[in-house]
Amino acid sequence: MKAATMKAATMKAATAMASLSTAMATAAATTIDSTHRILESNTPDSTTTCPTSLLDESTVDACLTWQKSESSKYNCTADSYLSSLTPGKYAGLTANYLSFNTEQAFPHFPERAEMLTRCTGGTIIFSEASDIAVDPITDIGSADAVGAEIYDAYVMIYSFTREASSLGLLETLNERIRENTVNLQYEDMFPKVRNMGEYRKDGKTNIDLLMADGDFFTPVIRIDLLERDGLPMPHTWDDLVEIARFYNGTDLNDDGESHDDWGFCIYPRTGSGFNDAWIPELMYSTWATTDQTRGIQEGFLFDEETLDPNIGTGFEKAMNYWKDLWPLSADACITSTFVEGRCAIGIAPPGCWKSVFVNTDEGGVAWRDRTNGDWGPVLRDENGEALWRPTFKDGTYAEPYRLKPLGSLEVIDRETDTLVECGPNTCPKGEKIKPSNELPEDDRANRLVDSPHVGKWINRVPFYWSGGYGQGIRKSANSEVKDLMFEFFSYVNSPITSVDDIVMPSWLDDWRYSQLASYERNYQKGGWNYDSWNEHQRVMKYALSNDVNSALTLQLPGVLMYTRDVMLDQFQKYVSGESDMETVKEETIKGWNEATLVYGKINQLDSYRATLGLNELSTYQKCTLHRQEMDAIDPAICKEATDNSTTIIIVLCSLVGAGILALVLYFFYKRYKSFQAIKKAHEQLMESTLNEATRCLQQLDYPLHLIRADEFVNDKQLTQHEVMRNSHRLTVLDNIKDVDAFVLAGKHVVFFSHQWTAFNHPDPGNLQYNFMVSALRELAKEKGWNEDLKDIFVWVDYSCIPQANASVQNLAIRSLAVYASSATYFIVCAPDTHHTDLNDVCDLSTYQRRMWCRAEQVCHSLRNGTGGMFLAKGKPGAFEFSPVQSDLFTESLRVFHGELTCCRCEHKGMEMCDRQSLVVPILGLYGELLRAAHDGFKTGGDVSAVNAFLSEVQKHQDDVFPEKFNRVMWRKNKRVVEEVVLFGDLIERMRERIKKGTMFVAGERGFGTESTKSSDFLRHGKNDFIRHGSLPEEAEGNGKGEDVA
């Protein structure tokens, strides 16, 4: 309370209190102290902050006047983010922020910082780095030097943060993000954008950068030229070389000149300033398409265990492509080559293409006035029309076409370093190339002739180059200043501001789903036409999604030594013809290994694995693979194991007679002790698994989200979870008790089980959605429910499981068994349709082959029987709806024989198979069923339906609960087939538990029960709800919300 008015108020308050009794004075003093605290927190509630019952009228007036004057200092009304903050929250704080080329790269940042200042009182001082790669690290510090620590926070490129991350010099943002989920909405960010800011350390994924840039190399092509000349859309690097050669040196914009028209435009290219260092990353993006087939964790630059450079056939092929392309290319960003129509195809980050797609008066592709240099205004005729723009045959403007990243039809077999044909097994994340007539109606590429590659598999790899920007905080900065800087980061990153800011000229590319959600919301206002936005959002969503086979650039400490000092030099020598391929390969391997030694091979190995999202190798593995390097760090680390081995050898060689006998006896004694220890560990593991199986069905790792059926029907399509959540259209049940109460209140939960018909969308043709709607109406009609559907709630994966945040998504998937078993009705939706990416037929048979589809059916039926299960199938215009038949159920019981994507990918970069994750919930549900039968037998109840169900399961026990399975894994780049225990003897152990009455249950209901003491463990408190076949007559719904479920 420093204002003059407050001083006056305090004096008057003191005078007033002096005239009160001692007790009243004490109370008033306490209240005024409370008033001070409230005022300092800027809570404008006059009746609370100015205690009218204890102070005289003039004092209250002074208090209110002060309060008003303080509030007027701050303005938090600009947007909903600021309005959620406390005015003056950071008053008096100043933070130093090291930005980079702010005027061009992030022109909206200073304005946003000023708006935050007007609201909170905190000041952010912008400074400009001269080298975005080096300057932040110089200030933060490194292994070799203490940082200057002038700045509190930085804009950084993700590939240059790894040394700071490994040393713990950057603030880990996980908890801050968790505490600001409402405004920041981190899960709205594309998964692969989040990956760029993450670093794996000590078995934990740390978020060290708050990324704000979905940056990858994106191809753009003059689609008018392809249509004119009868050429197909390019898909491969060979296609690109052919097109570049075909058009290079020809008149591409009808200006009568061809000497400065190019077949290919790229960025970065020589002359692009500090980005020249990253020219080799263009080659990396090609290299990845042959050498990486299984996602980020596989990597392609180094062996993930030995750190040997993967310089082989794939590297050679990529270098040859760029040797062909380099003389056919010009710059795509820092000159007007592309926007003047003087280039046929280009590859650059998405931000480079903004000027091409902004179709305001001076945007788009057109002839320009170059009198005063490049990039002048569009040249126009006397009527104001552009003199020339690219057009289709029908005369309409031909917006350059943005296409998916190019790929390869062949990939490397890492065991032999030879190229093999891309297919479902060799390219598990690949896709089939479609004919033009199978493309969406709004895809302009459907006007082109078919590619000669139609029907072939292609391995596309979106490559996230070093241009991806994020923001980091120095860990050693003042804690309050760190709070201020993170608030600023969140403010400019939040969808509340960034949805509008993203269309401004800047270096930032879309990093959120919400930024691409609606053409009218932002891109139309930003000057884009519908075609450009539509093709842009389609490619961005593809390249930054969770399942795509994307690759990260090199991120090791000292990355410039690898990429600029070694690779750029060798790249330039090769494309110019100065060096041959063998020399380039030898020099690159030599240079990279020398760079690794400078920073320490073990440190670099740990960093490389961390950037791929892999844990460090164990000490044993490091000692086995890298003994020399480990000894250089500390000889004692690996010495003990060596000394033990040496001692054993000496003893074995010197002992004879009784000594040998003693050794043999000792050996067997140790084997016996080891056997006992293993047996004990096995017993503990089995008991722990049984306990977890019992527990897992009693709690939700992630709340159950449901959609009211009438709203589901009105949506006209399946809507992504994040959109549903942000529009507050999801009903959330936090625990099992809530689920039970919800159902007992007369609500019907319908679980839809279906297969996805595209890699990145469950139902691109909307056919499955239409069948779901028809199924809901048929079910309501059959059960006699109200037609308004307001007492029916739908669960469907795309809407009810997070799609954007992989970590949260995994929590929901872990709860999938509980979701399915908690539903009152279960509908299999399997119409005849096509998989848009694989060009395969999807129907009931393909649905039944999927392990997760089988698992959902079994999880529901083990707790509920099949009486509430229905099948929606057929073809468009021929909808069929019927109860599930016994033959379908029998097939579904063979859950663990179903198909899995992880098995198709041969578990590359994975610790376990998805089959193993289903053991616990399936075991728990089976235990429920056993206990129901056991309780019924003891109490004399009718358990014939339960026993019939158990009998059906037990007929196929070996198929339903396989003891073991063969798992294919990759270790040290070798394919390994190993036998892995699945259920083992867990089924027998569960039966014994039930017989002994020791199936202990502890869950969210707040208490534990034993199976012999209660039947409340069964579905929603009704043990007769576990059934096989039709519902008992008294359990049928009556249409008035009185269903037994």
Give me the pLDDT at residue 814, please: 77
* Residue listed under structure tokens 């159920």: 889
Distance CA 868, CA 154 (A): 57
What residues contact 1022, with CB distance under 8 A and at least 6 apart? 1044, 1045
How much is the average pLDDT of 821-828? 94
Is 1011 buried (19+), middle (13-18) or exposed (0-12) by CB count in 10 A? buried
Q: Which of 52-56, 498-502, 976-980 is the least confident region?
A: 52-56
How far is Cα 85 from Cα 49, in angstroms, rounded to an integer? 19
pLDDT at residue 730, rounded to an integer: 93
Taking CB atoms within 8 Å and a gap of at least 24, the contacts of 1012-1016 are 1012/934, 1012/935, 1012/938, 1015/932, 1015/935
Q: How far apart are CA 839 and CA 853, in angstroms?
A: 20
Helix residue ranges, H only, 439-567: 479-493, 495-501, 530-543, 559-560
Which range, of 168-182, 600-614, 693-707, 940-954, averages the lowest pLDDT? 940-954
153 has a pLDDT exceeding 60: yes
User: Alpha-carbon distance 214 to 216, whole Å?
Assistant: 7
* Ordered DSSP codes for 16-73: HHHTS-HHHHHHHHHHHHHHHHHHHTT---HHHHS-TTTS-HHHHHHHHHHHHHHHTT
Q: Give the Cβ contact number of residue 936 at 10 Å.
A: 20
Q: What is the rounded average pLDDT for all residues in the chain? A: 83
Chain segment 512-563, per-residue pLDDT in tens: 999 998 899 899 988 898 999 999 999 999 999 888 999 999 999 999 999 9
Place 996 in a pLDDT band, splitting at 50, 70 and 90: confident
- What distance in Å separates the CA atoms of residue 299 and residue 463, rounded to the nearest whole number? 11
Give the tens place of pLDDT for each residue, 180-195: 988 999 989 998 999 8
Confidence of residue 929 (pLDDT cuts 50, 70, 90): confident
Percent of the chain exceeding pLDDT 90 equals: 50
Residue of 940 and 911 predicted with greater confidence = 911
Mean pLDDT of 661-685: 61
Quickly state the pLDDT bin for 16 (edges 50, 70, 90).
very low
User: What is the bridge-based pairing of β-strands 431-432 and 457-460?
Assistant: antiparallel
CA contacts within 13 A on the Cβ side of 794: 32
Least confident of 12-16, 156-160, 1026-1030: 1026-1030
Predicted confidence at residue 1036, as pLDDT, reads 37
97 alpha carbon, distance to own chain's centre? 28
Q: Which residue has the higher pLDDT, 810 or 797?
A: 797
Give residue 936's pLDDT: 65
Asked if the model's pLDDT at residue 26 lies above 60, the reply is: no
Residue 679 clears pLDDT 90, i.e. is over it? no
What three-state secondary structure class fits 1009?
A: strand
What b/e sequence results for 792-803 when a residue is b if at least 16 CB atoms lie within 10 Å of its CB, and e otherwise? bbbbbbbbbbbb
CA angle at residue 37 from 34 to 39, to 5 degrees? 110
From 462-471, 590-599, 700-709, 803-812, the region with the lowest mean pLDDT:
803-812
Q: What is the pLDDT of residues 191-233, one digit of tens each?
A: 899 989 999 888 888 999 999 999 999 999 999 999 999 999 9
Q: What is the pLDDT of residue 32?
A: 36
The string over 820-841, giving b where at least 16 C-beta atoms fall within 10 Å of a residue's C-beta and e elsewhere, is bbbbbbbbbbbbbbbbbbbeee
Where residue 305 falls among pLDDT bands split at 50, 70, 90?
very high
3-class SS letters over 849-868: HEHHHHHHHHHHHHHHCCCC
Q: How confident is the model at residue 42 (pLDDT cuts 50, 70, 90)?
A: very low
4: pLDDT strictly greater than 70:
no
CA distances from 985 to 223, 283, 682, 916, 923 (A): 62, 53, 11, 15, 11
| Closest CA relative to residue 1043, chosen from 838, 748, 821 | 748
Cα 436 to Cα 430: distance, rounded to the nearest angstrom:
19
Q: Is the pLDDT of residue 280 over 60?
A: yes
Phi then psi for 980, rounded to 5 degrees? -125, 135
How many C-alpha atoms does 812 have within 13 Å on its Cβ side? 22
What confidence score (pLDDT) does residue 942 get?
A: 61
Which residue would you say has higher pLDDT here, 71 or 858?
Answer: 858
pLDDT at 1003 over 50: no
Q: Decide: 127 and 151 in contact? Cβ < 8 Å.
A: yes
Nearest CA to 405 among 352, 330, 332, 458?
458
Q: Are 456 and 240 in contact (CB under 8 A)?
A: no
Question: What's the pLDDT at 667?
Answer: 62
CB-based contacts of 1024, cutoff 8 Å, min separation 6: 942, 945, 1032, 1035
Q: At what angle do helices 57-71 and 22-40 cross, to 10 degrees?
A: 10
Any idea what DSSP says for residue 564?
A: I
Q: Taking 60 as the threshold, does the pLDDT of residue 794 lie above it? A: yes
Residue-wise DSSP of 739-795: HHHHHHTT-EEEEEE---SSSS-S-TTSHHHHHHHHHHHHHHHHHT--TT-TTEEEE
Q: Is the pLDDT of residue 741 over 80?
A: yes
Which residues, 6 or more positions from 222, have their beta carbon under 8 angstroms from its beta carbon? 252, 341, 343, 344, 345, 365, 390, 398, 400, 401
Range name among 216-230, 264-278, 392-406, 410-424 with the lowest pLDDT average? 264-278
Three-state DSSP at 964 gives strand
Interval 960-965 mean pLDDT: 88
Helices assigned H by DSSP within 360-468: none
pLDDT value of residue 642: 56
Report yes or no: 990 and 693 within 8 Å, Cβ to Cβ. Answer: yes
Lowest mean pLDDT among 801-805, 922-926, 1020-1024: 1020-1024
More confident residue, 1022 or 143: 143
Q: How confident is the model at residue 674 (pLDDT cuts 50, 70, 90)?
A: low
Q: Specify the long-range contacts of residues 251-254, CB closer than 8 Å, at least 24 apart.
A: 252/222, 252/225, 252/341, 252/342, 252/343, 252/344, 253/340, 253/341, 253/342, 253/367, 253/388, 253/390, 254/388
Distance CA 973, CA 967 (A): 16
What is the reported pLDDT for 659?
61
On whether the CB atoms of residues 843 and 885 are closer than 8 A, the answer is no
Average pLDDT of the segment spanning 697-707: 86
Residue 430 has pLDDT above 90, yes or no: yes
Task: Name which residue leads in pLDDT, 436 or 361.
Answer: 436
Please name which of 309, 311, 378, 393 lies closest in space to residue 341, comparing C-alpha atoms. Answer: 378
Largest CA distance in the chain: 112
Tokens of 339: 């926007």
Q: What is the mean predicted confidence (pLDDT) over 579-585?
A: 97
Q: How far is CA 403 from CA 218, 234, 461, 537, 759, in A?
A: 7, 9, 13, 11, 17
pLDDT band at 941 (very low <50, low <70, confident <90, very high): low
Residues 6 or more apart whose Cβ sits within 8 Å of residue 449: 230, 231, 232, 436
Contact of 1044 with 1035, CB cutoff 8 Å = yes
pLDDT at 355: 72
Give the distance, in angstroms, between the CA of residue 512 and the centroid of all CA atoms in the same chain: 11
Return the minimum-mean-pLDDT range out of 30-34, 147-151, 722-726: 30-34
- Amino acid 943 reads V
Per mean pLDDT, which range of 122-131, 410-419, 690-699, 824-833 is the poorest?
690-699
Give SS3 for 11: helix
| Cβ atoms 281, 553 nearer than 8 A | yes
- Region of residue 101 (phi > 0: left; psi between -120 and 50: alpha; otherwise: beta): left
* Cβ neighbours of residue 607 closer than 8 Å, sequence gap 6 or more: 162, 163, 166, 555, 556, 557
Q: Indicate the angle between helix axes 313-325 and 237-247, nearest 10 degrees.
A: 20
* CA 990 to each of CA 697, 897, 922, 974, 999: distance values in angstroms, whole numbers, following the listed order: 15, 22, 12, 38, 8
Evaluate if residue 273 carries a pLDDT over 70.
no
Structure tokens at 1008: 């534990």
Q: Would you say 772 and 829 are in contact if contact means Cβ atoms under 8 Å apart?
A: yes
Residue 309 is given by DSSP the state B
| Res. 923 pLDDT band, cuts 50 70 90 | confident
**Can you tell me the distance from the alpha carbon of 245 to that of 318, in angstroms, rounded to the nearest whole number?**
17
422 pLDDT more than 90: yes
Residue 288 confidence (pLDDT) above 90: yes
Q: Which two tokens stand for residue 87?
A: 């005015």
Lowest mean pLDDT among 316-330, 562-576, 960-974: 960-974
The sheet carrying 469-473 orders its strands as 123-128, 94-99, 153-157, 469-473, 210-211
499 and 515 Cβ atoms separated by less than 8 Å: yes
Q: Is the pLDDT of residue 1012 over 80?
A: no
Would you state the pLDDT for residue 55?
Answer: 65
pLDDT of residue 1010: 32
Highest mean pLDDT out of 240-249, 682-691, 835-844: 240-249
Average pLDDT over residues 412-417: 93
pTM for the model stands at 0.66
Pair 734, 813: CB distance under 8 Å: no
Whole-angstrom Cα distance, residue 342 to residue 335? 11
Decide: helix, strand or coil at residue 391: strand
Only one residue has tokens 């020339």, namely 388
Query: Of the segments 314-323, 390-399, 425-434, 709-718, which one has the largest average pLDDT value?
Result: 314-323
